Amino acid sequence: MAHRNSADRTLGWEMTALAAFCLLLLTPFIYLWRMQANVPVHSASEPEFVGTRTCGECHLEQHRKWQGSDHDKAMAPATPETVLGDFADTVFTDPYTGKKSRFFRRDNNYFIETEDVADQKGVYQVAYTFGHYPLQQYLIPMPGGRMQCFNIAWDVDQKRWYRLPPYEVDGVDDWLHWTGSGQNWNGMCAECHSTRLKKNYDPQKNSYSTSWFEINVGCEACHGPGSEHVKWARQPALGRSQEGAGLVIEGDEALRERQISLCAPCHARRYQLGDNQHDGVDPLDMMVPALLTEELYYPDGQIKEEVYVYGSFIQSKMYLRGVRCNDCHDSHSLQTHRQGNELCTQCHRRQDYDTPGHHFHNKTHEGKPSKGYLCVSCHMSGRVYMGIDYRPDHSLRVPRPDLSISIKTPNSCSTSACHGDKSLDWVNEKYGIWYGQQNRPHYGEAIEAGRARKPEGLEQLKDVAEDTLLPPIVRATAISLLANYPGQGIESTIVKALESNEGLLRHAALRTFERSDTDRIRALVAPKLYDPSRAVRLEAAARLAAVPGESLRQEDRAVFQETLSEYRQSLAYNADFASQRHNEGNLEWELGDEEKAARSYLAALKIDDRFIPAKVNLAMLYNRQGNNRDAIELLQEVLTDRPTMYEVHYSLGLLLSELNRYDEAVVYLQQAAEGMPGYSRVRYNFSLALFKLQRWQQGANVLRELVLQNPEVSEYFVTLVNLYLNFGMGPQAEQLAYDVLKIMPDHPGAKDLLKAMRQNRKPQR
């Protein structure tokens, strides 16, 4: 099944209670789904969907190519013609859990009996097939309008049942269990496997009434509703308008220019702002793509988890130079236009690139066929997802094995299919002989430093964020990572990004924008209420929620309220996701309703009890309300699950310090200080906690190192000088001043201290 945008477990969903239904055949739900599936509702004033069969009456060749494609077979009713798996009373034993599942037929209906449910066996009827190659999954209806993707899939090539990842699922209460929301078709997959899908989630009832116009990905999924075009086509040739063919999305070159906008809503890791309208508009009007986060991408932007091509391709030089999806893929069959290196030599001259002088590989190696000579072997190395589905990386990058040493990223040379048996030193030596030693800076180095909060990462990220030659998704990622350096002069970079002509940068800047005074927020954020991209407008409204309404300009107030209402609608649309319930909580907190905020955070945790942001914010809210016992418990739960979340160590250390539990606080503050070396404030508070425990020398050592690294922060210098003087350690204070002046010759505090000490040493008359 396809996964929605998530970071670790940042998108979670409420588990469905199934015990009462496990022994029943869910045939009534099958009928309910089929009744819902074909009831489109159209406005008389808008173009309507007409269906792929109607399009095929004229567009015979395109329809022929589409038939049998991944789009055609994205989803179908479970019938003898569509089901590929062995349902001849076959039993599969899950190698990870030991639980058995039986696949069998009754007449022309398909059933699964499984032990992998709550308490006892359950028998379920299969409603639909999901995909067709290299694997096929099966959809099972559940109460509340839910459709669940069973976690045992059919391997089409090997003709066998096999268990899909994730393998480490902690029982039926885990949101990743096949009966849970992590495997829920309605929210996770449906919008990209059917045409004109309407999710129709009801947060109050916690149920779905999902519907579609066509069960698979038909013509109008890409071309938009076709009723006006059909009217145009059915007119006599001489009576047709010459100004347009009635298409919502024009074809030919116009379609090519908008093609990324058409493909992105499904081929991107993202979160949706609402149902796909199939109008080919700016992607940011419909969804927000995932940035190059640590959970999804390696620091250099190579794929790690499933990201569906878009986030990779827009990093590529191909994309930046105008190459589009249909330059390589047929728009209707989805197959590549040519095979092997012939696909690439459509543009890249064969005599320059398809030669041993460029790729240094032969078609055979040690008497065996080799693929080392293929362009894709070096420039599109991939990964296997869903157990058997190999997907190449579409960033089309030049291999950089040197980065495998410096920032631990993969490289195409060291894959198991190529030179995985050789050391990185060997790979880099050969690479250097062929192409020269690589020493060009790469944005992956900045992203790696920023993720680790290394001190040098701050300036590196600023440089990446402001480099207009880099892909916008890379620059937006750098902007987002600047949040790891609060209070360290990042605002100028954020302000520049707010004025970028790239919507993704403006959106990232709004999310990273530090809290400051009301006038500053109003001046910088309020103009974004009028931004051309919907995602940016909604984010601006969310950020302005903390600003008193009366402080906005009169002309902005109505726009703010309207946009805020639209933002709430977006949150309601995604209320089956823990992340959006969390955002709902953030909004209510900003608006001053702490009780609503707490309910929203709790709702997020009900969907996914490991959704960390909601736990952290709920803990902060509890602390604000004086409920420190529950706040501490929540933060400790987070650290049990994610011990490297050093910002949570910091928060817990500060909370324990507030309660004068300094012996516990220093443990967490020390972890935070070591894990966030670029955030000086953490080490400052660590030193203060040490002083509270009268561990004077240790605290002084921490603070002295901090002062020398951050001489411009007078608070650090003054605190340490006062400590020295209070303990009669004048020589240490004097030496500190001299050391600071070596680094910062005009340091006023150091100069004043030395002047005062010299005056005190003058003899009295």
Over the stretch 40-66, which tens digit does the pLDDT of each residue have? 444 446 899 999 999 999 999 999 999
The answer to whether 226 and 47 are in contact (CB under 8 A) is yes
What does the block give as tokens for 360? 């240094």
Say whether 413 sits in a helix, a strand or coil: helix
Residue 26 has pLDDT above 80, yes or no: no
End-to-end Cα distance, the chain: 89
Report how far apart, in Å, the C-alpha atoms of 736 and of each of 682, 686, 703, 720, 727 are: 21, 20, 11, 9, 15
Give residue 39's Cα distance to chain centre: 33
The answer to whether 457 and 479 are in contact (CB under 8 A) is no
Q: CA dihedral defined by 564, 569, 575, 581, rounded to 10 degrees? A: 0
Residue 23 has pLDDT above 90, yes or no: no
Q: 15-19, 319-323, 725-729 — which is least confidently predicted?
A: 15-19
Q: What is the pTM of this model?
A: 0.88
Give residue 559's Cα distance to chain centre: 29
Cα 196 to Cα 213: distance, rounded to the nearest angstrom = 5
**Which tens digits make up the pLDDT trace of 667-686?**
999 999 999 887 889 999 99
> What's the mean pLDDT in 76-95?
97
Q: What is the model's pLDDT at position 629?
A: 96
Q: What is the model's pLDDT at position 238?
A: 83
Q: What is the model's pLDDT at position 260?
A: 86
Q: 251 or 165: which carries more pLDDT confidence?
A: 165
In which element (H, E) is residue 103 found? strand 100-106
**Which tens digits make up the pLDDT trace of 516-542?**
778 888 899 999 999 999 999 999 999
CB proximity list for 531: less than 8 A, separation 6 or greater: 503, 506, 537, 540
**Which tens digits make up the pLDDT trace of 688-725?**
999 999 999 999 999 999 999 999 999 999 999 999 99
In which element (H, E) is residue 77 found? strand 75-77
Residue 384 bridge partners (DSSP): 390
Cα 170 to Cα 655: distance, rounded to the nearest angstrom = 31
Q: 239-253, 296-310, 574-588 — which is least confidently predicted?
A: 239-253
Q: What angle do CA 396, 401, 402 make, to 5 degrees?
A: 125
Q: What is the model's pLDDT at position 35?
A: 32
Residue 127 has pLDDT above 60, yes or no: yes
Q: Using CA of residue 456, residue 458, residue 461, residue 465, what is the dihedral sign?
A: negative
- The length of the chain is 765
3-state secondary structure 642-660: CCCCHHHHHHHHHHHHHCC
For residue 373, with 0-12 CB atoms within 10 Å meaning exposed, 13-18 middle and 19 or more buried, which class applies? buried
Closest residue by Cα to residue 582 from 565, 545, 547, 607:
607
Closest residue by Cα to residue 620 from 604, 597, 641:
597
* Longest alpha-carbon distance in the chain: 115
Give residue 735's Cα distance to chain centre: 49
**Which tens digits make up the pLDDT trace of 60-78?**
999 999 999 999 999 999 9
For residue 194, with 0-12 CB atoms within 10 Å meaning exposed, 13-18 middle and 19 or more buried, which class applies? buried
CB proximity list for 382: less than 8 A, separation 6 or greater: 303, 390, 391, 392, 393
Domain ranges in the chain are: 19-233, 257-398
Residue 149 bridge partners (DSSP): 139
Q: In what order do the strands lie in the sheet with 109-114?
A: 90-93, 100-106, 109-114, 122-125
Closest residue by Cα to residue 587 from 542, 638, 523:
542
Residue 586 has pLDDT above 90, yes or no: yes
Q: What is the model's pLDDT at position 39?
A: 39
Q: What is the model's pLDDT at position 289?
A: 96
Q: Using CA of residue 42, residue 47, residue 49, residue 51, what is the dihedral sign?
A: positive
Residue 259 backbone class (left: φ over 0; alpha: ψ -120 to 50; beta: rest): alpha
Q: What is the model's pLDDT at position 9?
A: 37
Radius of gyration in angstroms for the set of CA atoms belonging to the chain, rounded to a whole number: 30
Which DSSP letter does residue 267 get? S
Other C-beta atoms closer than 10 Å to the C-beta of 65 total: 17
Closest residue by Cα to residue 248 from 220, 227, 219, 279:
279
Cα 90 to Cα 102: distance, rounded to the nearest angstrom = 6
Residue 243 has pLDDT above 80, yes or no: no
**Which tens digits make up the pLDDT trace of 643-661?**
999 999 999 999 999 999 9
Q: What angle do CA 452, 457, 459 make, to 5 degrees?
A: 165
Q: In 307-346, which ranges are continuous DSSP H helix? A: 310-313, 317-320, 325-328
Q: What is the model's pLDDT at position 762?
A: 66
DSSP string, 483-496: GGSTTSS-HHHHHH
Q: What is the model's pLDDT at position 665?
A: 97
Cα 537 to Cα 317: distance, rounded to the nearest angstrom = 29
pLDDT band at 765 (very low <50, low <70, confident <90, very high): low
CB proximity list for 376: less than 8 A, separation 6 or greater: 392
Mean pLDDT of the chain: 90
**Which tens digits make up the pLDDT trace of 162-179?**
999 999 898 888 889 999
Q: In 373-468, which ranges are continuous DSSP H helix? A: 375-379, 401-406, 424-435, 443-451, 457-465
